[in-house]
Chains A and B, each alone.
Chain A
Amino acid sequence: MSNFRDSMLYPVLFMLITCIVFVGILAFMYRSSEAKIEANNKDSYQRLVLGLFAESIASATETKPYHIVNDYPEAFPSYINEVQLPGVDRRTFSASVGDSLLGYCFDIGGKGLWGSMRALIVLSPDITTLDGLVIYDQMETPGLGGRIGEQWFLDQFKKIPIYDVVNQNKHKLVSFILIPEGKQPTNSTEIQQITGATITSASVLKMLESEITLIIEAMDAQPVQR
């Protein structure tokens, strides 16, 4: 036996066996919680989608928004459907109460200061108003650019006409203007930027503008409910 332990083979065998044992344990662990991890990811994602529609669903069903959000396991399947709009290659959800369509939710992406970011936006059924924004994945500096996830910043993107209503130009998208944090906006296109994070704030706007343009172009190309 002691001869065997001094041989070249022993360490190799030992390593092999330990590897098999530990990788086996890990594989088992992973397999057993894989479903839960997926469900978690799906859960948090669907909650975001529902949250964006909560207000409009609540007013349509005459309840309070937080009831809708709290009631997530029931509410999501009953109001939200994943749909495929012709020509749009973004993941899309629609929300409807009964027969009336409340809006569409698109999964969009763009570039931030340090890396890419992913967001969800809500557009009205006739694709004329931006009704909500939530950024669910970003790598900006915590405390500076990371504040694009804060509610007050996101709340600025509600009920904004997408087209340039001032100039009555149906083909021109509005362009957002950044104003300093804390300053009262004079119209809906003025967005309070995050202090110390001009580039991040601007890249959120850039993402919105380019993605909304893409969606509109894709849908204009198709003769659908416009």
Chain B
Amino acid sequence: MTKKEIFITSAFTENSIWRQILGICSALAVTNLMMNSLIMGLGVIFSLALSGFTISLIRAWTPRSVRMMVQTLIIAAYVIIVDIFLKANLPAISKQLGPYVGLIITNCILMGRAEAFASQNKPFDSLVDGVGAGVGYTFVLLLIGFIRELFGFGSLFGIRVLGAWWTPWSIMVMAPSAFFILAMLIWIINVRFYKPKV
């Protein structure tokens, strides 16, 4: 596979959220504002790409018996780096995202990509795969965030797009709305782009 194919596969055709139903927890929790979704997505892209790269780099020397521990350690290290970076440079957003940045560690997508791809492929392929999976994840987050912020606040990225006449829908601000928006999204995408298995 070329790098481009790897990217397309992991970002869209085998998207972590709508094909593998991974990483749902954070997709529900942080998507009430588009800005939060974007920052969360960037954090995941960064951790995914670099952890994939690192895991792939040392895969030849990693003993099979401890590989999961090593993977978790590497993922955790990158996630904490993201967390520290946000705290130091974007304190307002770090406060809003709260514990969810730290919880990227437990995001199934990272472990999934590490096991499924990075531990068996070349470092740069893994990097591309990580970026791809992260972009796919961010894309879904932004979609959900778009709907939730538009209905819940009448704004996009904090900029008011709907006038004062708009009545905000409180349910869109709360986590339950993400459940049915995500479900609808998965439904529509599966119906439109994937043929049912016969």
Binding site for B on A (CB under 8 A): 5, 10-11, 14-15, 18-19, 22-23, 25-26, 29-30, 33, 36-37, 40-41, 44, 141-144, 196
For B74, what are the chain A residues with a Cβ–Cβ distance below 8 Å?
Answer: 18, 22
CB pair A15–B88 under 8 Å, yes or no, is no
Q: Does B170 contact A (CB under 8 A)?
A: yes
A5–B65 Cα gap in the complex (Å)? 12
Task: Bits for B52-70, please: 1 = Cβ < 8 Å to A, else 0.
Answer: 0000001001110110011
CB pair A11–B84 under 8 Å, yes or no, is no
A30–B87 Cα gap in the complex (Å)? 10
Chain B contact residues: helix, strand, loop or mixed:
helix
CB pair A29–B170 under 8 Å, yes or no, is no
Once A36-B88, A37-B87, A44-B91 are accepted as A-B contacts, the answer to whether A25 and B174 lie under 8 Å apart by CB is no
CB pair A143–B174 under 8 Å, yes or no, is yes
Q: Of the candidates A5, A26, A44, A143, which one forms a contact with B63 in the assembled complex, judged by CB atoms under 8 Å apart? A: A5
A9–B61 Cα gap in the complex (Å)? 14
CB pair A41–B81 under 8 Å, yes or no, is no
Binding site for A on B (CB under 8 A): 32, 58, 61-63, 65-66, 69-70, 73-74, 77, 80-81, 84-85, 87-89, 91-92, 152, 168, 170, 173-174
Chain B: minimal CB distance from A14 (Å) = 6
Chain A contact residues: helix, strand, loop or mixed:
helix
22 pairs from A and B in contact (CB 8 Å cutoff): A14-B66, A14-B70, A18-B70, A18-B73, A18-B74, A22-B73, A22-B74, A26-B77, A26-B81, A29-B80, A30-B84, A33-B88, A36-B89, A37-B88, A37-B91, A40-B87, A40-B88, A142-B32, A143-B32, A143-B168, A144-B170, A144-B174
